[in-house]
Amino acid sequence: MKVSLKWLSDYVDIKIDPQKLAEKLTMAGMEVKGLQTVGNTWNNVVIGQVAAVNSHPDADKLNLATVNLGPQQITVVCGAPNISVGQKVPFAYVGARLIDGHTGKATLLKATKIRGILSEGMVCSEKELGISENHESILVLSPEAPMGMPLADYLGDIVFDLDITPNRPDCLSIIGIAREIAALSDEPIHLPEIRYEEMEKPIDSLISVDIIEPDLCLRYCASLITGIKVASSPAWLQQRLRSYGMRPINNVVDVSNYVMLEHGQPLHAFDYHKLEGKQIVVRRAKSGETIITLDGLERTLTQDTLVIADEENPVAIAGLMGGLNTEVDVTTTAILLESANFNRSIIRRGANHLNLQSEASIRFDKGLNPDLPLVALKRATQLLLELAGGKAARGIIDAYPGKTAPSAILLSTKEIKRLSGLEVTVDETLRILRALGFECQETGLLPPQISVLVPYWRSDMKCTADLVEEVIRIIGYDKIPVTRLSASLPPQKSTPERSFKRKLRNTLVGWGFQEILTYSLTSMEKLQRLSLKLEPEVAPLQIANPMTKGQEYLRTSLRAGLLTTLANNQKHEETGIRLFEIGKIFLPQYSSVIAVGQTRGSGEGKVKQSTQDKEGLPQEKEMLCAALSGSRRELSWHDNKELFDFFDAKGVAERLLEQLGLTSTFEPSDDEGLFPGRSADVIIGGDKVGVVGKLHSKVAQDFELSGPVCLIEVDVEKLMNKASGAKRYQPIPRFPSITRDIALVINEQVTFQQAEDIILSFPLVEKATLFDLYTGEQIPEGKKSFAIRIIYQSPKRTLTEREVDKIQQQMLAGLHRELGATLRG
Amino acid sequence: MLKQLEELQLEALNELGQVSELKELESWRVRCLGKRSKLTQVLRSLASLPLEERKKVGALANATKVSLESSLAEKKKFLEEDHLASFLGRERLDITLPGQPIPAGRLHPVTQTLEEICSIFTSMGFQVAEGPDVEWDYYNFEALNIPPQHPARDMFATLWIDYEETTEQARLLRTHTSPMQIRVMEKERPPIRMIVPGRVYRYEATDATHESMFYQVEGLAIDTNITLADLKGILFEFCHCLFGEERKVRFRCDYFPFVEPGAEIAIECLSCHGAGCRLCSYSGWLEILGAGMVHPDVLRRVEIDPEVYSGFAFGMGVERIPMLRYGIDDIRLFYGNDLRFLKQF
């Protein structure tokens, strides 16, 4: 909301510096986003009067204007078509700083020869002065403008740009802000006095008003003026509209806009003679009914739109825009001026539906008070009579089905203290509330209570807390003391999930993984590229109003975001990349009953709409997904450059689970996003908690990844539940262990797991570590060699070589019997 | 015999002088001092000598032995030192060669900031809770005094799962972490002190200052006798922890439908220190938090008596903090996850 300081000064004396005032308003909840000084660059620009206009001897479209500046007259070349003798105009001397009408840049005015005639000075347009974009015509000032006066003294102003919060529709008006300033600076407010003459004929003999929808139109006020003359508004009025950023149109439209800016109440003028049947009906539109609005568009209405109609047709969409059929134009001689209160929801829905946000809809939308229309209507009627002539019919139409009695709110200084911590006296409270226009009465009860009646313009005041805010914001939030919360501390509970996630994150970061955070929303295309079977097999949740195709579905896997990030980074990272994300995936929960036939969405996302179970919200599951790609080590002169493979991913999973005190097994996985035969399910206690593996080459290709990529994916919650068991300490072995290395030659098909299971089944075997796997020379075709280090250990005694030899012989026999393994010679 | 011993010693010392390797030293010892050495033979033959001579020869032979042994020790020490010196010389490295890189991971800067925020508040006795990203209209709006068609809905451009504003049964992506205020208060009774970090979503075209997904941290404290002054105290302390003790903090009136009185907390601009610059839109201040006293209607809705209890709530955007601190000028960098960006934190 842009507010001119000059305009504000009509209603309140402003004695403090504008910068200070801006700070006060900001502190009190009315944030001043900008403070623009109009005219601070107008040096060498004065008010002149056009004394003569002659055509340029050598140019058809140019004139020679002689401007009287008081002490002297200057003749300059002028191209504006609207210049005429007698006008008061802004005149710039050579040396003035103006905006160039063509380039938009600030330039110093120089004397120039235009088509042979020397022009020393210029009559200015609004654009040249930086007031608006208008460069077609010169700015014509009010006839009262004093000749020779510097323009800055006459037109200079300060414009505040205020951010008005949605609870304060009253401050979408100059008077509303003047009231704030009055209360903040303890000055009285002066409102315009409203008085005008009426003719004999009563208004209800000329027009009737019928409200069919009293819930949607709480009040409808109207006045009627006949014999008016539609023309341009006077310069002062145009100037004020411009200070707000509005374009002047004609006196009727300008007055209704002016009063809207002044009081915050939107008004609308109908050409009275164009109203069929001389009646106004406030009703819902009939389905399919059409109206051509003032912007020339034909609009088809629904029953969800409130219209103002005459006997036959809609003549306006209530609160949004008038109809072309009753437009006020130069031929208009009588107008019906409407000032009404419409239900904010229907205005809001209509504005969204018809895409018709306007100054009026913005105000109705915030909820205006039904007491406002009458005040604004009288003010507008008075101004119209002054500026457009004519006579007002006697009385005013006032249909007010929604009238309610004002109710009082009780406030005590104790309550102010209880909520704000600020000690305020009863007198101070009364002073502030009265300055804001509240009617206050002390109840005489103990503890002292004030009964407060809310003024009609403050529709946001509903309860005691609202009043507390009013009092303390006028005193200033900077006066509120700073205290340390002394309330009792609630019992502190542990947050295991958070700690667990932190542990996972820190562990992976310690191993060189970079954490990433990717969007929860993704595209169906990306989810499909993962070629994942969803479990349970349902479509991901779809956004009804997605911003982009790329963010239309809630992710059901972290993989898409991770792989996309990986592909993006592969383009510039030279060496190995380790990434992980811990985050939520969203699994819709459908009940077993599937509603048949209902579909929603469009395109590839079309899925069966299912009846949801009573929870209805999706399961939000915390997952961990990590990826490895590129070389195992960073590029270095010192080490090998091998690429990450399946066993790196498996190693991460194994070590991670080990850190959590979990024992896991790995079984071949049928995960369709992973490479068959190079992927494994991670099993703990018979339960699958995740998967590791090499990414399927098809998926890698679809995500434009280069080189092999390995994934680790685990269900964080499952893992946490498994890891939550109490840990028991294991004593450090007191006796020495015995280490034996064996090299087994074994059939290619035999897995390491099979050999390991047999080895570990023998007594006293503490650990078996595979330290070499070999095929090739010296090993027959179809065979491989495992080199295994076995550690024998007893908790009770020192082992002898002899007993270990004996166990190992039995073990080798077992390996031979079960797996056909032989010792490598 | 005596002469033989002198010659023998001379010869041995001479040979010892020739020894240049540690391993030769042992063969010298065997030759000159071993069981079969001439010296040992002399010593063995002492018994057969007459007493007088035995004394003389014996004394000299023993002295020779001691002398040779000490020469050996000396030579050994010399050779060992020499050996060590040449070993160390051989092992010299070009220490300007780069060190072996250790893979270094980092937490995402948003995670780092969240951890920092949470640790400040947990040190003040706040508990951390998390809530669902997909919410009911009821928790996101209705229960927070934002019924359908309320103009404050304009403050929250919403991504809907079900169709817009039809019913409080509609699901949406939460537009703020405030719904957790309701979920917490439905379950717990005062005293309550809770913070809620989490993702929030907006129907918003992205640019350098806008994201469709970002993080917020919500705070809530309910008890008897909690005031706006306590809120001011907590949040000033928080801002000082995060931005330094010297940083000026501003507490002003603002509006959010679910608090009354409402407030906004801003800090003095980090870039211009209050003078006004582009970062702070020439205001000198940077908004950090929205806050206020929990609205009595909100308390009533969760069956907490607003005449007995009071409390405050606050909320802040998380990305803004590292952006201000590190001068990051594009919010999209956070979820673009370019390693060249992430590795800087």
Mutate to test the interface with B, among A482, A504, A566 (most CBs of B within 10 A): A482
Contact state of B255 with A511 under an 8 Å Cβ cutoff: no
Report yes or no: A450 and A434 within 8 Å, Cβ to Cβ: no
Looking at residue A611, its pLDDT comes to: 40
Whether B77 and B198 map to the same domain: the answer is no
Residue of chain B with shortest Cα separation from A423: B229
Mutate to test the interface with A, among B260, B282, B285, B343 (most CBs of A within 10 A): B260
Using CB atoms within 10 A of its CB, is residue A288 exposed (0-12), middle (13-18) or buried (19+)?
exposed
Looking at residue A494, its pLDDT comes to: 81
Contact state of B232 with A165 under an 8 Å Cβ cutoff: no
Contact state of A515 with B254 under an 8 Å Cβ cutoff: no
Residue B332's contacts (CB-CB under 8 Å, 6 or more residues apart) are: B206, B207, B208, B211
Q: How far is Cα of residue B96 from the mean position of the Cα atoms in its chain? A: 28
- Please tell me the distance from the alpha carbon of residue A257 to that of residue B211, in angstroms, as a whole number: 37
The pair of structure tokens assigned to A442 is: 């002390």
- Separate counts of helices (H) and strands (E) for chain B: 12, 9
Residue B245's contacts (CB-CB under 8 Å, 6 or more residues apart) are: none
The pair of structure tokens assigned to A807 is: 């166990």
Q: Token match 């570990």: residue?
A: A760
Contacts 24+ apart (CB under 8 A), A289-294: A289/A314, A291/A315, A291/A316, A291/A317, A291/A323, A291/A325, A292/A323, A292/A324, A292/A325, A293/A317, A293/A321, A293/A322, A293/A323, A293/A324, A293/A356, A294/A321, A294/A322, A294/A323, A294/A324, A294/A327
Looking at residue A605, its pLDDT comes to: 35
C-alpha torsion angle, residues A98, A104, A106, A107 (rounded to 10): -70
Number of domains within chain B:
2
Using CB atoms within 10 A of its CB, is residue A571 exposed (0-12), middle (13-18) or buried (19+)?
exposed
The pair of structure tokens assigned to A273 is: 């003679």
Domains A2-39+159-185 and A408-479 agree in fold? yes
Residue A582's contacts (CB-CB under 8 Å, 6 or more residues apart) are: A501, A504, A505, A515, A622, A623, A624, A716
Architecture of domain A497-594+623-723: 2-Layer Sandwich (3.30)
Whether B167 and B316 map to the same domain: the answer is yes
* B95 domain residue, yes or no: no
Whether B222 and B140 map to the same domain: the answer is yes
* B316 domain residue, yes or no: yes
Residue B294 vs residue B4, higher pLDDT? B294
Residue of chain A with shortest Cα separation from B153: A166
Contact state of A487 with B261 under an 8 Å Cβ cutoff: no
Res B204 pLDDT > 70: yes
Contact state of B263 with A477 under an 8 Å Cβ cutoff: yes
* B219 domain residue, yes or no: yes
Residue B1 vs residue A262, higher pLDDT? A262
Task: Identify the CATH assignment for A408-479 out of 3.30.56.10, 3.30.70.1290, 3.40.50.300, 1.10.150.130.
Answer: 3.30.56.10
Let me know the angle formed at the C-alpha of A9 by A5 and A11, rounded to the nearest 5 degrees: 130
What DSSP string runs through A737-793? -EEEEEEEEEETTS-HHHHHHHHHTSTTEEEEEEEEEE-STTS-TTEEEEEEEEEE-
DSSP A584: E
Whether B257 and B113 map to the same domain: the answer is yes
Domain boundaries, chain A: 2-39+159-185, 45-155, 198-399, 408-479, 497-594+623-723, 738-823
The pair of structure tokens assigned to A770 is: 């595979």
Report yes or no: B191 and A488 within 8 Å, Cβ to Cβ: yes
- Please tell me the distance from the alpha carbon of residue A326 to that of residue A307, in angstroms, as a whole number: 13
* Buried-exposed string B92-101: b where 16+ CB fall within 10 A, e elsewhere: eeeeeeeeee
**In a 3-state reduction of DSSP, which class is residue B340?**
helix
Residue of chain B with shortest Cα separation from A350: B149
Contact state of A421 with B203 under an 8 Å Cβ cutoff: no
Nearest CA among A375, A308, A292 for reference residue A346 = A308
Report yes or no: A47 and A154 within 8 Å, Cβ to Cβ: yes
Q: Report the first-to-last Cα separation within chain B, whole angstroms.
A: 87
Residue A481's contacts (CB-CB under 8 Å, 6 or more residues apart) are: A421, A422, B229, B232
Minimum distance, in Å, between the CA of residue A776 and any CA atom of chain B? 32
**In a 3-state reduction of DSSP, which class is residue A590?**
strand
Mutate to test the interface with A, among B134, B158, B289 (most CBs of A within 10 A): B134
DSSP B212: S
- Please tell me the distance from the alpha carbon of residue A242 to that of residue A155, in angstroms, as a whole number: 12
- Beta-bridge mates of residue A48: A89
- Please tell me the distance from the alpha carbon of residue B32 to that of residue B44, in angstroms, as a whole number: 14
Fold of the CATH domain A198-399: Phenylalanyl-tRNA Synthetase; Chain B, domain 3 (3.50.40)
* B198 domain residue, yes or no: yes
Set of chain B residues whose Cβ sits within 8 Å of the Cβ of A493: 127
Contact state of B337 with A568 under an 8 Å Cβ cutoff: yes
User: A2-39+159-185 has which CATH code?
Assistant: 3.30.56.10
On whether the A45-155 domain is CATH 2.40.50.140, my answer is yes
Architecture of domain A738-823: 2-Layer Sandwich (3.30)
Give the residue ranges of chain A where pLDDT is below 70. Answer: 533-538, 590-615, 639-640
Using CB atoms within 10 A of its CB, is residue A150 exposed (0-12), middle (13-18) or buried (19+)?
middle
Q: What is the CA radius of gyration of chain B?
A: 43
Set of chain A residues whose Cβ sits within 8 Å of the Cβ of B154: 166
C-beta neighbour count of A277 within 10 angstroms? 12
Reported residue count of chain A is: 825
Dihedral sign of CA atoms B243, B248, B251, B254 in order = negative
**Minimum-distance CB partner of B151 among A366, A468, A544:** A366
* B103 domain residue, yes or no: no
**Minimum-distance CB partner of B228 among A480, A514, A554:** A480
- Separate counts of helices (H) and strands (E) for chain A: 21, 43
Residue of chain A with shortest Cα separation from B237: A484
Q: Which domain holds residue B71?
A: 2-90
Residue B119's contacts (CB-CB under 8 Å, 6 or more residues apart) are: none
Whether B53 and B115 map to the same domain: the answer is no
Set of chain A residues whose Cβ sits within 8 Å of the Cβ of B135: 617
Contacts 24+ apart (CB under 8 A), B270-274: B270/B243, B270/B324, B270/B325, B271/B327, B274/B248
β-pairing verdict for B249-253 and B213-223: unpaired
Contact state of B151 with A633 under an 8 Å Cβ cutoff: no
Domain boundary at B90, B119, B144, which? B90
* B63 domain residue, yes or no: yes
- Beta-bridge mates of residue A54: A64
CATH number at residue B194: 3.30.930.10
Looking at residue A609, its pLDDT comes to: 39
Contact state of B251 with A477 under an 8 Å Cβ cutoff: yes
- Please tell me the distance from the alpha carbon of residue A732 to that of residue A133, in angstroms, as a whole number: 86
* B97 domain residue, yes or no: no
Report yes or no: A41 and A106 within 8 Å, Cβ to Cβ: yes
pLDDT band at B144 (very low <50, low <70, confident <90, very high): very high
Looking at residue A640, its pLDDT comes to: 67
Looking at residue A606, its pLDDT comes to: 34
Whether B40 and B136 map to the same domain: the answer is no
Using CB atoms within 10 A of its CB, is residue A45 exposed (0-12), middle (13-18) or buried (19+)?
buried
Contact state of A515 with B107 under an 8 Å Cβ cutoff: yes
- Please tell me the distance from the alpha carbon of residue A391 to that of residue A384, in angstroms, as a whole number: 10
Q: What is the ipTM of this complex?
A: 0.86
* B120 domain residue, yes or no: yes
Mutate to test the interface with A, among B162, B337, B338 (most CBs of A within 10 A): B337
Minimum distance, in Å, between the CA of residue B286 and any CA atom of chain A? 12
pLDDT band at B20 (very low <50, low <70, confident <90, very high): confident
Res B196 pLDDT > 90: yes
- Please tell me the distance from the alpha carbon of residue A561 to that of residue A581, in angstroms, as a whole number: 9
Whether B6 and B83 map to the same domain: the answer is yes
**In a 3-state reduction of DSSP, which class is residue A41?**
coil
- Please tell me the distance from the alpha carbon of residue A284 to that of residue A212, in angstroms, as a whole number: 8
Contact state of A469 with B253 under an 8 Å Cβ cutoff: yes
Distances (CA, A) of A789 to A737, A753, A771, A773, A804: 12, 15, 7, 12, 13
Looking at residue A536, its pLDDT comes to: 52
Looking at residue A534, its pLDDT comes to: 53
